Amino acid sequence: MGKYVLWIFLSVCCRFSGYAQVLPRVHDPVMIRQGGRYYLFSTGNGISVKSSTDRKHWKEEKPVFEQVPLWAKKEVPTFKGHIWAPDISYFDGRYYLYYSISAFGKNTSCIGVATNPTLNVSDPHFKWTDHGKVIQSIPGKTNWNAIDPNIILDENGTPYMAFGSFWDGIKLVRLAKDGLTVDEDLEHIPTIASRKTNPMDPNPPAVDNNPADAGGNAIEAPFIFKKGNYYYLFASIDYCCKGSESTYKMIIGRSKQLKGPYFDRDSLSLEKGGGTVLLEGDQHWHGVGHNAVATFDGIDYLIFHAYDAEDDGRSKLRIETIEWDEQQWPIITKQIN
């Protein structure tokens, strides 16, 4: 009987990948490697952290914040410690973790940043230092939403932050060299991706029971990745966070300039509703999105969450290998690693 139960367990675990692994529950994941260990940051109370030596078996680490940052509670009074959509980078000799504080369905939002000289919890220098707010959006004042940060360095090492969710779409802003403050006029930061075909049109009305304030410009979660001669802009469209009812999918565009404009495979501008669908849900995974991209040992990986149709729509970690076609566009091989 014991062997039979074990066989059932292994069969369930192997149904996606050909080997036994339990996919961890995550939302909005991003990954980096230090030494021989991978670190996975994701949405959660205080920011969830996991580590692994093989990207298959994950150890739960302590959250980044054990207590709610006081500045965040002041700026977003309804905030209770559940921090969204972290982004991890390494530059200027330290690790930068950007994160989102927001009221759900409103652009009462802020992006903050914490730094650490190391991700190794056994290192005596391990310590997260919170630097507080980097950028803020305010209802009725800013037609953009300060969540879902992603950092990319230009050719001179200057950090830029792509961010945004709904409202006017995906924005791009230059940061100071130390990555802690904005170094640009926020009245004129560009929109680099939207679902509106005419940028001057008002936002479409909210749909699918989403909050009216958010509108229906359903694009968010940017990630910019440099490969060869191009900067590739990944984004998620349609609706997350609904379990088996999620319609999330990933789109892609590219540009030879970090600031854009970004175009899809059909030469449509992402600023004007373009975007080639890279990956979408199926009968096993209802909604796939909020991706990151990382390169390990010369191989590029797509890291994202998906809603497991066979587990009540719970959000799970997915890692797929990226291949590149003759035109230098990404292709997903659909092999979990």
Kindly list the catalytic residues: 28, 220
What amino acid occupies position 133? K
Q: Read out DSSP for 113-150?
A: EEEES-S-TTSTT---EEEEEEEEE-TTT-SS---S-E
Give residues with Cβ within 8 angstroms of 70, minimum separation 6.
none
Q: Which long-range contacts (CB under 8 A, 24 or more apart) does 40-45 make?
A: 40/303, 40/317, 41/86, 41/87, 41/88, 41/97, 42/86, 42/305, 43/82, 43/83, 43/84, 43/85, 43/86, 44/82, 44/83, 45/81, 45/82, 45/83
Q: H or E element: which one contains 299?
A: strand 299-308
Quote the CA–CA distance of 23 and 26 in Å, as a whole number. Answer: 9
CB-CB contact of 115 with 129 (8 Å): yes
Quote the CA–CA distance of 147 and 213 in Å, as a whole number. Answer: 15
List 108's β-bridge partners, or say none: none
Give residues with Cβ within 8 angstroms of 252, minimum separation 6.
232, 233, 234, 264, 275, 276, 278, 329, 330
CB-CB contact of 288 with 306 (8 Å): yes
Quote the CA–CA distance of 274 and 267 in Å, as a whole number. Answer: 8
Q: H or E element: which one contains 3?
A: helix 2-13
Quote the CA–CA distance of 167 and 130 in Å, as a whole number. Answer: 28
Q: Take residue 71 and report the two structure tokens written for it.
A: 């500045």
Q: Take residue 319 and report the two structure tokens written for it.
A: 């890692």
